[in-house]
Amino acid sequence: MFTLVGWASTVATTNFTEDMMTDTEYASDLSGTATSPRLRFEHLSMVFPDGTHAIDDVSFSVDPGEFVTVVGPSGCGKSTLLRIASGLTQHTGGVCDVNRDSIGYVFQDATLLPWRTVQKNVELNAELHGMSKQDRQRLSAEAIELVNLVGHEDKFPKQLSGGMKMRCSLARSLVLNPEVFLFDEPFGALDEITRERLNDELINLFNSEKFAALFITHSIAEAVFLSTRVLVMSARPGRLIGDYQIPFGAERPHDIRFEPEFAEICGLINNDLKDAHT
């Protein structure tokens, strides 16, 4: 009926011969991870029915407390990664291992239901999960406070600015306290100032909630600012061509964007991306 298929069936269809080919990328992926990853791609590939080869042999994982960002040129299949992780799209090869019952998906667009108030929008996921009215009202109030939307509960999406809509969308996902957050370029449509402010707020959220995050963007600065690790994806078929651990600590003050080290990493990623486009 729906596209969501349990990951168990995904594992069952895995091509095991491919599984056993351990390349260096795969090996490096396993290093230094004692805790089990919340999200794991192994030799993932995706060929759409029309023959478009979107993703080719992508392997990486996201641990709790890890913020992984994928940057890449347009149409390289970054968003497809998220759709596969969430189960919205069924991949055609490799493994995608994630607990689909505990995913927060933040879309490119805020995707608020226009006929619901902020409060009711934030309650939506909890409501659809059958949570009691009392519980979801309490959790929504907390989430609304976390994203600084207190005082706007009774407004309709039409009355909100782009940034406020995105905050509301974040709050909606926060209510269920998911283990894994998938961000599909959530701030792409916002102006630079709003975007940076929301980046700052997202860092705080991430530090307090300690989820595992997979973030898609094509803003290099955003990627470096937010992430513990940045992956660079090539043009189609998308494969990983760069992997950067970001050396900054958990606290990311706003001004870190102007540090030489920050600029240096951005430069390296930019070089990778230039190669990716050709």
Report the residue from 12, 50, 151, 208 that binds another protein according to the rule CB under 8 A: 50
Helix (H, G, I), strand (E, B) or coil at 93: strand
With residue 274 as reference, give the H or E element that holds it: helix 260-277
- Scanning the structure block, which residue is given the tokens 């999406």? 157
Q: Least distance (Å) from another protein to the CB of residue 152?
A: 12
DSSP 129: T
Report the residue from 45, 80, 199, 234 that binds another protein according to the rule CB under 8 A: 80
Q: Least distance (Å) from another protein to the CB of residue 71?
A: 10
Structure tokens at 115: 């006929």
Helix (H, G, I), strand (E, B) or coil at 2: coil
Task: Tell me the one-letter amino acid at 109.
Answer: D
Q: If binding is defined by CB under 8 A, does position 188 make contact with another protein?
A: yes
Q: If binding is defined by CB under 8 A, does position 79 make contact with another protein?
A: yes
Helix (H, G, I), strand (E, B) or coil at 195: helix
* Window 101-160: residues binding another protein (CB under 8 A): 103, 105, 107-111, 113-115, 124-125, 127-129, 156-160
Closer residue to another protein, CB minimum distance, 1 or 20: 1
DSSP codes of every residue in 129-144: TT--HHHHHHHHHHHH
Alpha-carbon gap, residue 97 to 88, rounded angstroms: 14
Q: If binding is defined by CB under 8 A, does position 89 make contact with another protein?
A: yes
Q: If binding is defined by CB under 8 A, does position 87 make contact with another protein?
A: yes
Residues that bind another protein (CB under 8 A): 1-4, 48, 50, 52, 54, 74-75, 77-80, 83, 86-89, 103, 105, 107-111, 113-115, 124-125, 127-129, 156-162, 165, 184-185, 188-192, 218, 236
